Amino acid sequence: MAGLAYGQKAPAELTRDQLEQELDAYRRALLDWAQLTRYGSDNAELKPPRPGENRVVFLGGEITEQWPQEFFQGKPYVNRGILRQTSAQMLVRFRQDVIDLRPKVVVIEAGSNDMASVMGPATEFQITDNIVSMIELARAHRIKVVVASVPPVCDCGGQIQTLRRVPGKIMGLNGTLEQMAQEVGVVFVDFHKALAQGRLMDKDLTADGLVPNKAGYAKLAPVVEQAIQQALHD
């Protein structure tokens, strides 16, 4: 599972708003690297699952965090996405934000921010290693796992995304993630295929080239629902 190292692009390639977002993210990382305080009170207030409840936790970065709330309403689904998080940070908070919530299934959406070197360079091996560690923790607590592919990006909406998340490298990582999922016996859900037009994000499914819009999430909803049902019945 050895892979390529993903290099961070020069600050000059980012807009002022992007630079301000990065500086704020680094400030928060210094104070609470894995952002363990983000959902601390929410977790404390969350009631244990009811008998027979198929609770599902969605763990990920901004693509998970910004998933429209109406998708979760009326369902035993818990959103634990955090803007700009990497797989290493998710691994650190996995016990608090997944295991302790006692779900039947966890949906792991990770890798995009690792590729963009949000918290420093990462290799394909390191990304998959972090995800495998999360899978092992989940299995130790009888939690079924769905691993999502890294969604595509596009240079649209005034943003240049392909410099930091190179489309060819996304596809390479997704191939590795799919192979890993098959080898360890967990469900793989292809977010990339649902959102792509060729190798890039369909521009009609995003506002900034990175995070899906409502039309994009409407494409993701049925595929992730199918994956959840598959995991529950495996």
For the segment 130-161, what is each residue's pLDDT rounded down to a tens digit? 999 999 999 999 999 999 999 999 999 888 99
Beta bridge partners of 188: 147
Quick check: 8 pLDDT over 90? Answer: no
Report helix, strand or coil for 197. Answer: strand
Position with higher pLDDT, 215 vs 120: 215
- Provide mean pLDDT across the span 110-126: 95
Confidence at 23, pLDDT banded by 50, 70, 90: confident
Question: What is the model's pLDDT at position 1?
Answer: 38
Distance of CA 128 to the CA centre of its chain: 13
Quick check: 5 pLDDT over 50? Answer: no
Position with higher pLDDT, 14 vs 21: 21
The owner of tokens 């109406």 is 70
Beta bridge partners of 19: none
- Provide mean pLDDT across the span 38-55: 96
Angle at Cα 83 formed by Cα 81 and Cα 87, nearest 5°? 70
- Provide mean pLDDT across the span 160-183: 97
Quick check: 10 pLDDT over 60? Answer: no
Torsion, CA 227, CA 228, CA 229, CA 230, rounded to 10: 50
Question: What is the model's pLDDT at position 6?
Answer: 46
127 Cβ contact list (under 8 Å, min separation 6): 3, 87, 110, 111, 114, 115, 173
Question: What is the model's pLDDT at position 31?
Answer: 75
7-45+53-233 has which fold? Rossmann fold (3.40.50)
Pairing of the two strands 5-6 and 122-123: antiparallel
Helix spans in the chain (H): 16-31, 40-45, 62-65, 87-92, 94-97, 112-115, 124-140, 167-184, 191-195, 214-233
Position with higher pLDDT, 72 vs 10: 72
Question: What is the model's pLDDT at position 45?
Answer: 96
For the stretch 181-201, pLDDT in tens is 999 999 999 999 999 999 999
Question: What is the model's pLDDT at position 7?
Answer: 43
Report helix, strand or coil for 54. Answer: coil
